[in-house]
Amino acid sequence: MGKTVKIAVLVSGGGTNLQALIDAQARGELHSGKIELVISNKDGAYALERAKKAGIETLTILKKKSNEGAQGTGGVQEISPQADFENRLLAALEEHGIELIILAGFMSILSGNFTRRYPERIINVHPALIPSFCGKGFYGLKVHEAALACGVKVTGATVHFVNEIPDGGRIIAQKAVDIEEGDTPEILQKRVMEQAEWILLPKAAEKVCADMLK
């Protein structure tokens, strides 16, 4: 077998997008990269169970509270909980030789200090057609609530590179999904997942990995 890109998937919840990636890898559709590590920032995230069932190594890295382990005395600069979290995340990624990071329902904003370490090597799936319903505060059901409140007839999903601006990186792929009469945010969320996210993310991951190997 030839060289493959080492992938880490960052998760926070149930892991349905992670499962789509695992299934695509099992079918041979994601073959230019291999999922080596799944990291959660939430204790007990079911995504970790999905990874374990697939034989993928898992880690949980929690963000400490601001008063935990404060080192602001004696002239030592106190490190912020975000910086501490990202330092531990970075150490785990480097230890495993990770080359591509996929955010799959990862509910934490990464700082510019972190994203600059991986220029166009972090991808995210967003449940709308960027630039609509995106940016700070638009995540999960909030995205679908906004789409329905606005009265748009078409929504979808976008896979994009991640930079220091929330949902601001270069777009890799998009897929449209129709909004139907009587949709609730929950119904729309499920349709966008099934018709767009679970299809788009593995395809985009394969494309990025294949491009990295050129």
- The one-letter code for the residue type at 181 is E
Q: DSSP E strands: which ranges in the chain? A: 5-11, 33-40, 57-60, 100-103, 122-126, 154-161, 171-178
Report the predicted TM-score, pTM, of the whole model to 2 decimal places.
Answer: 0.92
Number of domains in the chain: 1
For residue 162, what is the domain's CATH number?
3.40.50.170
Q: Quick: pLDDT tens for 99-130.
A: 999 999 999 999 999 999 999 999 999 999 99
Of these residues, 31, 126, 144, 160, which one is catalytic? 126
**Assign residue 159 a region: left if phi > 0, alpha if psi is -120 to 50, beta otherwise?**
beta
Mean pLDDT of 140-148: 97
Tokens read off for 121: 């090597």
CA dihedral for 110, 113, 117, 120, sign (positive or negative):
positive
Residue 102's domain spans which residues?
Answer: 5-213
Tell me the DSSP string of 66-123: TTTT---STTPPPPPHHHHHHHHHHHHHHHTT--EEEESS--SPPPHHHHTTSTT-EE
pLDDT higher than threshold 60 for residue 1: no
User: Burial of 150 by CB count in 10 Å (0-12 exposed, 13-18 middle, 19+ buried)?
Assistant: exposed
In the numeric block, the tokens 């960052």 are attached to 10
For residue 126, indicate whether it is catalytic: yes
User: Which of helix, strand or coil describes residue 184?
Assistant: coil
| Residues with Cβ within 8 Å of residue 136, at least 6 apart in sequence | 109, 166
d(CA 204, CA 214): 16
| Contact (Cβ atoms closer than 8 angstroms) between residue 201 and residue 102 | yes
pLDDT higher than threshold 80 for residue 163: yes
Least confident segment among 19-28, 135-144, 145-154, 181-190: 135-144
Q: Quick: pLDDT tens for 39-80.
A: 999 999 999 999 999 999 999 999 987 655 444 444 455 789
